Amino acid sequence: MLSNAFFLGKGGVGKTTLSAAFALDLARSGKRVLIASLDPAHNLGDVYGVALGDRPTGVERGLDALEVDLGAWVDRYLEESRSELKATYAYAGTLNLDRFFDIMKYSPGTEEYAVLWAIEHIHCELSAEYDVVVFDTPPTALSLRFLAMPAISRLWIAELSKLRERILEKRQSITRINPASPVASSCVDKADDKVYGRLGAIRERLAGLQGLFGKESYVAVVINPDQLSVSEALRIKEELDRIEVPLSGLCVNKRGVSAAEWSLDSRLSETPAFDFDFLPGGLRDREDLRTIDCGSLVADFMATAPEGTL
Ligand SMILES: Nc1ncnc2c1ncn2[C@@H]1O[C@H](COP(=O)(O)OP(=O)(O)OP(=O)(O)O)[C@@H](O)[C@H]1O
Ligand SMILES: [Mg+2]
């Protein structure tokens, strides 16, 4: 059994509903479950009828839930970067770093990193208390960006590490030629270089997250019986293939909601599909979630072992 589950998909298809029902089903079968909402527009608390915050709150026996405070994680990420930069580059104190970080708050990528570090925190600090962690995700665009972030950033880090190695080599050459050069007093060795060490540490963190997404997670895409959500699912599948994260299951939610023609693309036919009927009475409280039958999905999740352990 994998220890994490992610529900991805287009806006409004039922990610929160199915992840909440799935987590409830697992908890009622005796597992210790944490469900975390990563959506900046949280509504997991509304679905369970419980006020949630950034720390795990008991929903019922075996089930805790939290809503990640993305704003706080953005601030934490910026603060970490600020103090790291100050510690690594003492001379940077002369630059106006505060203004730089004020702008960085709104720069592309900041929110994605904040989501990543929130997931890492849940994985490293909280998950030991649970058998399974379920993630309710924001609509496709942001989710694909944070899932791809480790793979993309690792390419950057690899290039930056090479550049740093070249700088250190140049310093060594200068020191050999002229031991009296001011360069000789700076760090010339990879093993002692703070910047090189930091790059290595970031690479490790990103590798851990990539492993979490690619090898320790059941990634499900939720669709509705309509062509638009099938097209979106295809785009998600292509992106997941590109970043080497396997697509584990397809949840066809709201079956019977309309009589419109639709069909699953053949490129999705190898992925196990699970049907969920449209409930005409709607879903008003936690007990209504029980009318969603997650049995086959839960069985598939339990049967899926991490790569190489079967
Ligand atoms: N099987 C179902 N039958 C009836 N209503 C459903 C079903 N699944 C979801 N809904 C309803 O559809 C609406 C959207 O569901 P939900 O909030 O779970 O989607 P979402 O994918 O999480 O949306 P968002 O992208 O906004 O986070 C909600 O009102 C929910 O109650
Ligand atoms: Mg949602």
Minimum-distance ligand 1 atom for the alpha carbon of 17:
18
User: Is any atom of ligand 1 closer than 6 Å to the C-beta of 126?
Assistant: no
Residue 263 pLDDT > 80, yes or no? yes
> What pLDDT digit, counting tens, does each position of 236-256 carry?
999 999 999 999 999 999 999
How far, in Å, from the CA of 130 to the mean position of ligand 2? 22
Proportion of the chain above pLDDT 70, given as a percent: 94
Residue 160 binned pLDDT confidence (cut-offs 50, 70, 90): very high
How far, in Å, from the CA of 202 to the mean position of ligand 1? 37
Q: Atom 19 (ligand 1): residue with closest C-alpha?
A: 14
**Starting at the edge strand that comes first in sequence, how are the strands of the sheet with 273-277 ordered?**
57-60, 63-67, 33-37, 132-136, 4-9, 217-223, 249-255, 273-277
What structural domains and CATH numbers belong to the chain?
4-75+104-303 (3.40.50.300)
The residues assigned a catalytic role are: 39
pLDDT of 310 reads: 37
pTM given for the model: 0.89
Block residue for tokens 């992106």: 239
> What pLDDT digit, counting tens, does each position of 161-212 carry?
999 999 989 888 888 888 888 777 777 788 888 888 888 988 999 999 999 9
> What pLDDT digit, counting tens, does each position of 266-299 carry?
899 999 999 999 999 899 888 899 999 999 999 9
Give the C-alpha separation, 51 to 48, whole Å: 9
Give the C-alpha separation, 54 to 52, whole Å: 7
User: Is any atom of ligand 1 closer than 6 Å to the C-beta of 11?
Assistant: yes
> What pLDDT digit, counting tens, does each position of 8-63 carry?
999 999 999 999 999 999 999 999 999 999 998 889 999 999 999 999 999 999 99
User: Is any atom of ligand 1 closer than 6 Å to the C-beta of 229?
Assistant: no
Q: Evaluate whether 50 touches 59 at the Cβ level (below 8 Å).
A: yes
Closest ligand (CA of 222): 1
Minimum-distance ligand 1 atom for the alpha carbon of 20:
18
Minimum-distance ligand 1 atom for the alpha carbon of 255:
1
Name the average pLDDT for the chain. Answer: 89
Please list the residues that pair with 8 across neighbouring strands.
221
Minimum-distance ligand 1 atom for the alpha carbon of 292:
1
Give the C-alpha separation, 190 to 196, whole Å: 6
Mutational pocket test of ligand 1: of 8, 10, 16, the residue with most ligand atoms within 8 Å of the beta carbon: 16
pLDDT of 231 reads: 93
How far, in Å, from the CA of 262 to the mean position of ligand 2? 23
**68 vs 2: which has the higher pLDDT:** 68
How far, in Å, from the CA of 100 to the mean position of ligand 1? 40
Write the secondary structure of the chain as one string of H (helix), E (strand) and C (coil): CCCEEEEEECCCCCHHHHHHHHHHHHHHCCCCEEEEECCCCCCHHHHHCCCCCCCCEEEECCEEEEECCHHHHHHHHHHHHHHHHHHHCHHHHHCCHHHHHHHHCCCCCHHHHHHHHHHHHHHHHHHHHCCEEEEECCCHHHHHHHHHHHHHHHHHHHHHHHHHHHHHHHHHHHHHHCCCCHHHHCCCCHHHCHHHHHHHHHHHHHHHHHHHHHHCEEEEEEECCCHHHHHHHHHHHHHHHHCCCCCCEEEEEEECCCCCCCCCCHHHCCCCEEEEECCCCCCCCHHHHCCCCCHHHHHHHHHCCCCCCC
Residue 309 binned pLDDT confidence (cut-offs 50, 70, 90): very low
User: Is any atom of ligand 1 closer than 6 Å to the C-beta of 137?
Assistant: no
